[in-house]
């Protein structure tokens, strides 16, 4: 019997839950997959009113085939956590696939794992990837060698289907898509700056302005450290 494909989701305080619960829901249906959700010390993680418990200790995981890093409001704090970043590098250097959703790509990039690689990210922080030597991509799902990244939040489901197709073929991916009735038909046009009506975009940008400025400055300071 062949060994399972080990997929590790590394989560942290302030992670966006849909960034990993979305792809997890799809990937767990993939044949031969072992899904692990881990945190530093196995600590409970708070995420937008939800709490994730009984997590595995990140330090105790010896290896993985697929490393997946989600994004979230706590991304910048995760970048400053030396223990967390050390584990990202350790597992990422030997993983078969490096993957991310939303600002999780910033974490991979800050760990030195995306040098010269194209990567997707949430539109609000996409340009910050370049601070760590990665190439920002506006694609919903970007593939560059063994790096597969999804854009903001809901793109994690599309990323998961792309990974399933990579590992088991498009037919398996389409079967899982049908099982979970993934047939997105949003009630409004938008969802990206390019597709959103200008007045809606302006309102969202105004609401995000102060927090986003601070987050970008924090990430830039981290990138400037020797």
> Which one of 64, 68, 75, 102 is the catalytic residue?
102
Q: Quick check: is 64 catalytic? A: no
Distance in angstroms (rounded) separating the CA atoms of residues 170 and 190: 27
Distance in angstroms (rounded) separating the CA atoms of residues 195 and 26: 27
Active-site annotation, residues: 102
């Amino acid at each position: 019997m062949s060994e399972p494909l080990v997929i590790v989701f590394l989560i942290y305080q302030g992670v966006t839950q849909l960034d990993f619960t979305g792809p997890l829901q799809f990937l767990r249906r993939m044949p031969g997959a072992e899904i692990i959700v881990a945190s530093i010390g196995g600590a409970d993680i708070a995420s937008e009113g939800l709490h994730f418990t009984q997590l595995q200790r990140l330090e105790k995981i010896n290896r993985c085939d697929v490393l997946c890093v989600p994004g979230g409001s706590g991304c910048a704090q995760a970048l400053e956590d030396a223990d967390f970043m050390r584990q990202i590098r350790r597992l990422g250097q030997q993983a078969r696939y490096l993957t991310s959703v939303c600002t999780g790509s910033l974490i991979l990039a800050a760990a030195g794992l995306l040098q010269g690689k194209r990567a997707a990210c949430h539109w609000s922080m996409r340009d910050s990837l370049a601070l760590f030597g990665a190439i920002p991509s506006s694609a919903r799902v970007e593939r560059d060698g063994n790096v597969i990244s999804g854009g903001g939040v809901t793109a994690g489901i599309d990323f998961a289907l792309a990974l399933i197709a990579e590992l088991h073929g498009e037919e398996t991916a389409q079967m899982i898509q049908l099982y979970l009735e993934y047939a997105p038909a949003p009630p409004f046009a938008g969802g990206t700056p390019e597709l959103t009506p200008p007045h809606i975009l302006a309102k969202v940008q105004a609401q995000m302005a102060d927090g986003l400025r601070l987050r970008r400055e924090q990430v830039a300071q981290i990138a400037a450290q020797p």
